Amino acid sequence: MIDNILRDIAEILLPEKNTCLVCSYKAPYIQKSYICMYCESLLSRLEGVLCVKCSKPMEHDSDLCGECVKIEKAFDKSLALFEYRDKTKALINDFKYHNKSYLYKMFGYQMVKFLKDTGVTNIKAVVPVPIHQSKELKRGYNQSELLASYISFNLGLPMLKLVKRNRDTTPQSRLEGYARWNNMAGAFDIREGLPVPDKILLVDDIYTTGATVNECSKVLKQNGAEEIICLAIAR
């Protein structure tokens, strides 16, 4: 309730409707998408033949990619909107590391539209992937929590911070392959005192190997979740 009131006040004091948050171009058609047609055209959509489990692009028409055949993953499906390259990569880096937290509105709008267009329904709650407290204090926010908050507000679903991070880990961007899986092993735990819904949308900013969302999914399923759909801006 308080979060909703603060959000409404912020919209009144800092009106951004019809303004592209990427290039500051103003046009009536932008409304609350927060991005102009030109800047949106620079974001590479994830298209073509995709793995039905993790949405990895594949050259051949098949249900599962090679990794999903070899590795059993705790989540039921992982979705992403864009390829993590070029303008998308630069904007996500700005969002995470360069204090451009306001980009959550533009990315959040895209994610909500994607969920509606792809028919993802029957979600009971939106859960953000947590970051370690030290990183959140340094950055000032958890980017995944901002995205999850936007999605929950616009879909009328509760946002539940069900997962906590037990320890700080080496940034995944510094690691490769299976080292990322080892790095995230046992890094998360459930927050006690909160009921775990059966159907959850788990929100993160980037999907690379899937190690982070997989570990979060393990914890959630061990505590009552039955179906977990992961959603990221890009992969």
- Residues 117, 212, single domain; the answer is yes
pLDDT, tens digit (0-9, with 9 covering 90-100), for 125-166: 999 999 989 889 999 999 999 999 999 999 999 999 999 998
Residue 135 tokens read as 């990183």
- Residues 21, 63, single domain; the answer is no
- Residues 33, 93, single domain; the answer is no
pTM, rounded to two decimals: 0.89
CA pseudo-torsion sign 146, 106, 90, 20:
negative
Roughly what angle, to the nearest 10 degrees, separates helices 2-13 and 143-155? Answer: 100
pLDDT, tens digit (0-9, with 9 covering 90-100), for 164-181: 998 766 565 555 666 766
Domain that holds residue 189: 44-234
- Residues 150, 60, single domain; the answer is yes
- Residues 37, 48, single domain; the answer is no
In whole angstroms, what is the distance from residue 153 CA to residue 230 CA? Answer: 18
- Residues 54, 97, single domain; the answer is yes
Contact predicate 183/207, CB 8 Å = no
Could you count the other beta carbons within 10 Å of the beta carbon of residue 136? 15
- Residues 97, 81, single domain; the answer is yes
- Residues 9, 69, single domain; the answer is no
- Residues 134, 69, single domain; the answer is yes
Number of folded domains that form the chain: 2
- Residues 129, 105, single domain; the answer is yes
